[in-house]
Structure 1
Amino acid sequence: MTVETKLTDFRTATITQHWNDPPQKIFIKADDGYDRLDSYQIRLILEKILENCKNNSMVSDKRMVTDSEKRLALLFERLEKEQISESILGRLCKMCEYIKENDFTNALTIHSNLMTTDFENEGKWLLGIKRLLDLCKKKLESK
């Protein structure tokens, strides 16, 4: 009794999925669950907050608002030149969504996350946003 086996040459074989290859679906970016704002919309939201703080802040807060305005100018410049990374831009979008809803607690949570992860490169304008968020939250709580 002879068993015939078909021999193949391994050198010419094409392997489509090796046992150690990761599945391709892990390389697809997950949907983060919200619509992304573009950099222009982020700028409009932050400028609106800045304008509200300018008009409604007490005399003691005017210097802080002026300093924040200078710091945000750095952010706006970087947004125009598309120098902000996708991860930071995504978190800025989410933070702006919270700001539009007057949910400053969650906006500050995202801000603190940005401060801990990206302060080294983005610290100057992050401090400006922090001050504005604090002023808005203070104004909202005083009502």
Structure 2
Amino acid sequence: RMADADTSAVTGNALVLVRTLHAYMDALMAAALNPMERKKLEDVSKRLGLLLVKLNLNELSTTIVDKLLGITQAVSVGDYRTALAIHVELTTSDWADNGAWLVGLKRLLEALAKP
């Protein structure tokens, strides 16, 4: 889970990313009204926890971090099309080592895009 992931070594742009992802998850969890939504969000949290671990261990390239920041910037202005397009780029180029959290990120984006 995201809440259990150690992010004490995360700095710079990656720290901005961690804080933004936590804010998105907190907002979605607060709005999740039914048990099914909560269960999906728990899975997203578990998967994104893997991303936070990789960020903490500095296992992601600057390119990946920059693309993730691009996703959060697109989401911040409601541009989910761009966010999903960047996600597709990441899926195409970095799936082998990052598939589990990329699935969680896609589900997060889908949940955020819901009206």
- TM-score under structure 1 normalisation? 0.68
**Identity %, equivalent residues:** 27
Superposition RMSD on alpha carbons, in Å?
1.2
Asked which structure has the greater RCO (Cα within 8 Å, sep 6+), the reply is 2
Segments of 5+ residues of structure 1 without an aligned counterpart are: 1-36
* Runs of 4+ in structure 1 over 2 Å off: none
* CA–CA separation in structure 2 for the residues paired with 1:90 and 1:123: 18
The higher radius of gyration belongs to 1
2:91 corresponds to: 115
1:75 corresponds to: 51
Segments of 5+ residues of structure 2 without an aligned counterpart are: 1-11
Q: What aligned pairs does 1:76-115 form with structure 2 within 5 A after superposition? A: 76-115=52-91
SS of the counterpart of 2:48? helix
Contact kept in structure 2, 1:45 and 1:100, CA below 8 Å:
no
Identify which of 23, 27, 30 aligns with 1:48: 23
* CA–CA separation in structure 1 for the residues paired with 2:62 and 2:88: 18
Q: Which has the higher helix share?
A: 2
* CA–CA separation in structure 2 for the residues paired with 1:54 and 1:66: 9
Q: CA deviation at 1:92?
A: 0.8
- TM-score under structure 2 normalisation? 0.83
